[in-house]
Chain A
């Protein structure tokens, strides 16, 4: 029955995403209408008001705004991935300093650069490797 749970879970996630997409559409439509109303009140024609609202409201392309909102989800995943990489880097750093010899000989980062520092991962983590304590 595990497969059924998975299918149900995926369906729920999809439904949530569709609902969230519909809500975003409605929200952006409402936002645009509110800006158009404001322009109409200032004496513009509907056509002018709509054009001005799209320009000033940053809604020349609704799709690009929606894209940016959707990206927030991806950003979260990248954030999580980045945290995982940093965590893995910290653990590898601590492990390598224990394996590689007397801790007092060189600073932690020097050891990493000298012996296993060819890995680009560590090159990009100076602050993390600096904080390694022996």
Chain B
């Protein structure tokens, strides 16, 4: 595995990334995977084994809602959209993520002189 292609996401972040993807527009499972890969410039590749359990969990928790529609290729697909609770959760999680990544960044850059 090349260094710039980590094999897995930081645990727990997949839910947040899916919510963010669906905040842009409703999508089906395959579309979500493609969009994540596209936005991350190929760094994250989410396969069905991770994606579908995550979608099921988010749907079960009422954060996303699924609806069957016909795709541009004339196939039936389940499109997921963010619910109001999903949008609120995304906002909260994004805030927590920013605080944590800033803190981690500060720790990684710390030197004795600064302390």
> A: which residues have CB within 8 A of B?
23-24, 26-28, 30-35, 37, 56-59, 64-65, 68-69, 71-73, 75-76
CB distance from B22 to the nearest CB of A (A): 15
Give the residues in chain A near B49, CB-CB below 8 Å: 58-59, 64-65, 68
Report whether B52 and A71 are in contact in the complex, using a CB–CB cutoff of 8 Å.
no
Complex CA distance for A59 and B57, rounded to whole angstroms: 19
Residue in A27, A69, A75 whose Cβ sees the most chain B Cβ within 10 Å: A27
Complex CA distance for A68 and B26, rounded to whole angstroms: 24
From A30, A35, A59, A69, B53 is in contact (CB under 8 Å) with A69
CB distance from B18 to the nearest CB of A (A): 14
Q: Any chain A CB within 8 A of the CB of B48?
A: yes
Interface pairs A-B: 4 shortest CB-CB: A58-B47, A58-B49, A34-B30, A72-B56
Report whether B52 and A68 are in contact in the complex, using a CB–CB cutoff of 8 Å.
yes
Binary contact readout B39-66 vs A (1 if CB under 8 angstroms, 0 otherwise): 0000001011110110011001000000
Complex CA distance for A81 and B14, rounded to whole angstroms: 25
Give the residues in chain A near B30, CB-CB below 8 Å: 30-31, 34-35
Count of A-B contacts judged by CB separation below 8 Å: 61
From B50, B57, B68, B75, A72 is in contact (CB under 8 Å) with B57
Complex CA distance for A74 and B49, rounded to whole angstroms: 17
Report whether A58 and B50 are in contact in the complex, using a CB–CB cutoff of 8 Å.
yes
Give the residues in chain B near A26, CB-CB below 8 Å: 76, 78
Complex CA distance for A64 and B57, rounded to whole angstroms: 16
Q: Any chain A CB within 8 A of the CB of B77?
A: yes
* Cβ-closest chain A residue relative to B47: A58
Report whether A24 and B52 are in contact in the complex, using a CB–CB cutoff of 8 Å.
yes
Known contacts A31-B29, A76-B60; A58/B76 CB under 8 A: no
CB distance from B28 to the nearest CB of A (A): 7
Report whether B48 and A30 are in contact in the complex, using a CB–CB cutoff of 8 Å.
no
Give the residues in chain A near B77, CB-CB below 8 Å: 27, 30
